[in-house]
Structure 1
């Protein structure tokens, strides 16, 4: 049985996603939505200086957009990475308690979601690996929210992967 405050949901349909979220709506603090085995990733080995890059990936079954998730009054962390989304959920800006957001490896450009992200005043961390992003967009977002940490560069990604490997061992 999952912790009622944190749920990892394998996306099968909008209806099933919304049903499972509704069961924990009032307590839900952390939500990760994923599709099992949805990404094919590959990295060139052995790594050469030119190959020090994020892995290439393809999404097998992309979801163009998620349904509105509804009221989640305690939501602090949302992970919607590797879904192949073309846009963010329409109701994302209503999550005033949201502190961490992972939108990595989706199909939209950072510039396409920048206005939505600027509305999330309480956001402390955003991961946007594998999304077309430039420093000016990130700078603009940080000007609106100086406490925000944005992780999007190849070097940040590789450092995070190395940290995960260390934790695993």
Structure 2
């Protein structure tokens, strides 16, 4: 199972707050897998995802993901590559393409669409679809985005 995964959620927040929650390491380390992802927000800029303390204690490398910024249109669109470095099989699958699109709607609610073009990356596809959740690997994109929504709407994330 590879191909493309698309996730769309609605968040009661401004496009600017959603953008900041995705691109600011101070924000993105508060939800999902709790690793700090640092962006150089310009085409060709580096994307560095740091493993959280628990991951490092379990043997993960300090840098869990890497990639490159391809397109930046704040606060509406971010396109990047990403490569998972924590697992040798996933690392060997190489870089995949990740697009965040934020569209403002009615009554202060925005749509956030995440499109992950996985190509021929079956290990990554399984991980990001949440197939390894019962093994302690988290629930993939659905889990991360649900946690992001909780954090922005209530001020409290549910992931730990």
Higher relative contact order (CA 8 A, sep 6+): 2
Pick the structure with more strand per residue.
2
